[in-house]
């Protein structure tokens, strides 16, 4: 059985950002009625429209900032840190067993120094000599603690993996700044709301930077809420690119699949 529109949107938001927004900066549901009334009956808009557009608004500004990053510069920083982390990992792997033993002994001595010997012995014999002691939560032996060297190896492995992914995400092997897709991403959200929640065609009709079609007027109003300084020509171009790219998602279930495909690019 096909999921409802609301179920599909919630599933998408859960995958994309971990759930619905806890707060609204651009499209608070209480202030959405007028916009809905301007573009159709308020009931034509699902309660999830503000959620989708709120996520898109935040993504618009994140994408704008991302497109301005100096990726070649930051890739060098990431590569330098990766090399240092890899070298340190190699040093821990090559550490002699006797050196590791000395580290452990020194750690135990430090722990005994910090805890009186009588307390240490008592914590060890209490579970045996005093049956009433809670066996499910026995006293912690101060001589036992996680091996910091092993913890360091685990942390370094995670950091190195993150750095490799980060370099790929920072357009490894490419030159120049990335393309700014913020307007296109915002228009994609508008298309999703317009076609799925209003049920109308996403027609792109403009004349001398003025929106003519219902969909164009809707997109323009949404864009102005997100970025009052955005140009009409940029929104028109973004609408046409979305319309011509075939990214018309008539089934929100497909949007979830598209989000998953995007995530695969991070691996």
At residue 103, the pLDDT reads 87
Q: Report the number of distinct structural domains present in the chain.
A: 2
Of 142-151, 156-165, 186-195, 199-208, give the lowest mean pLDDT range. 142-151
- 8 A C-beta contact, residue 203 and residue 215: yes
**For residue 133, what are its two tokens?**
């002691």
Among 169, 193, 218, the domain boundary falls at 169
Report the alpha-carbon distance of residue 8 to residue 17 in Å, rounded. 14
CB of 250 closer than 8 Å to CB of 197 = no
Q: Do residue 117 and residue 238 come from a single domain?
A: no
Closest CA relative to residue 188, chosen from 53, 22, 1: 53
pLDDT of 121 strictly over 70: no
Q: Is the pLDDT of residue 134 over 90?
A: no
Q: Are residues 95 and 120 in the same domain?
A: yes
For the chain, what percentages of helix, strand and coil (3-state, to nearest 5) are there?
Answer: 65, 0, 35
Task: Indicate left, alpha or beta for 208 from its phi (over 0: left) and psi (-120 to 50: alpha).
Answer: left
Q: Decide if pLDDT at 37 tops 80.
A: yes
Residue 175: pLDDT above 70?
Answer: yes
Q: Are residues 188 and 58 in the same domain?
A: yes
Prediction pTM value: 0.62
pLDDT tens-place string over residues 183-209: 998 999 899 888 888 888 899 999 999
Q: What is the pLDDT of residue 165?
A: 92
| Same domain, residue pair 90 and 221 | no
pLDDT category at 261 given cuts 50, 70, 90 is: low
Residues 224 and 252 reside in one and the same domain: yes
Check: CB of residue 135 under 8 Å from CB of residue 127: yes
Do 61 and 104 fall into the same domain? Answer: no
pLDDT for 218 equals 95
Same domain membership, residue 161 and residue 197:
no
pLDDT given at position 91: 94
Domain that holds residue 203: 5-68+178-264
Answer whether residue 124 shows pLDDT above 60. Answer: no
- Report how far Cα 32 is from the mean position of its chain's Cα atoms: 26
User: Residue 65: which residues within 8 A CB-CB, separation 6 or more?
Assistant: none
Domain end marker among 169, 186, 219: 169
Which residue would you say has higher pLDDT here, 150 or 127? 150
Is residue 176 scored above 60 in pLDDT?
A: yes
- The answer on 142 and 84 residing in a single domain is yes
pLDDT the model gives residue 265: 47
Which of 147, 169, 191 terminates a domain? The answer is 169
Query: Residue 267 — very low, low, confident or very high, per pLDDT cuts 50/70/90?
Result: very low
Query: Is the same domain home to 83 and 124?
Result: yes
pLDDT band at residue 142 under the 50/70/90 scheme? very low
| More reliable by pLDDT, 163 or 115 | 163
Confidence category of residue 24, pLDDT binned at 50, 70, 90: confident
**Is the pLDDT reported for residue 262 higher than 70?**
no
Share of the chain above pLDDT 90, in %: 34
Same domain for 20 and 142, yes or no, is: no
Instruction: Pick the more confident residue, 145 or 99.
Output: 99
Question: What are 54-82's pLDDT values in tens digits?
Answer: 888 988 998 898 888 888 899 999 999 99
Is the domain of 63 the same as that of 182?
yes
| Per-residue pLDDT, 266 | 45
My answer on whether 122 and 150 are in the same domain is yes
């Amino acid at each position: 059985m096909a999921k409802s529109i609301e179920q599909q949107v919630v599933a998408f938001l859960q995958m994309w950002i971990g759930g619905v927004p806890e707060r609204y900066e651009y499209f608070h549901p209480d202030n959405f009625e007028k916009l809905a009334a301007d573009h159709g009956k308020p009931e034509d808009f699902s309660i999830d429209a503000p959620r989708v557009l709120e996520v898109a608004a935040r993504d618009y500004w994140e994408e704008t900032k991302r497109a301005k990053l100096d990726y070649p510069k930051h890739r060098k920083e990431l590569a330098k840190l990766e090399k240092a982390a890899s070298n340190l990992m190699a040093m821990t792997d090559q550490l002699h067993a006797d050196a590791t033993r000395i580290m452990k002994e020194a750690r135990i001595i430090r722990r005994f120094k910090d805890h009186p010997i009588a307390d240490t012995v008592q914590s060890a014999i209490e579970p045996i000599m005093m049956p009433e002691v809670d066996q499910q939560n026995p006293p912690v032996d101060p001589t036992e603690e996680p091996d910091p060297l092993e913890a360091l190896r685990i942390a370094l492995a995670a950091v190195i993996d993150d750095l490799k992914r980060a370099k790929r995400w920072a357009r490894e092997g490419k030159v120049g700044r990335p393309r700014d897709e913020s307007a296109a991403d915002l228009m994609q959200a508008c298309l999703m709301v317009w076609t799925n929640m209003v049920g109308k065609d996403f027609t792109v009709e403009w004349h001398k930077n003025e929106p003519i079609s219902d969909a164009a007027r809707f997109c323009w109003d949404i864009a102005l809420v997100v970025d009052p300084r955005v140009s009409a020509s940029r929104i028109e171009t973004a609408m046409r690119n979305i319309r011509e790219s075939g990214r018309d998602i008539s089934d929100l279930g497909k949007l979830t699949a598209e989000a998953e495909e995007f995530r695969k690019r991070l691996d």
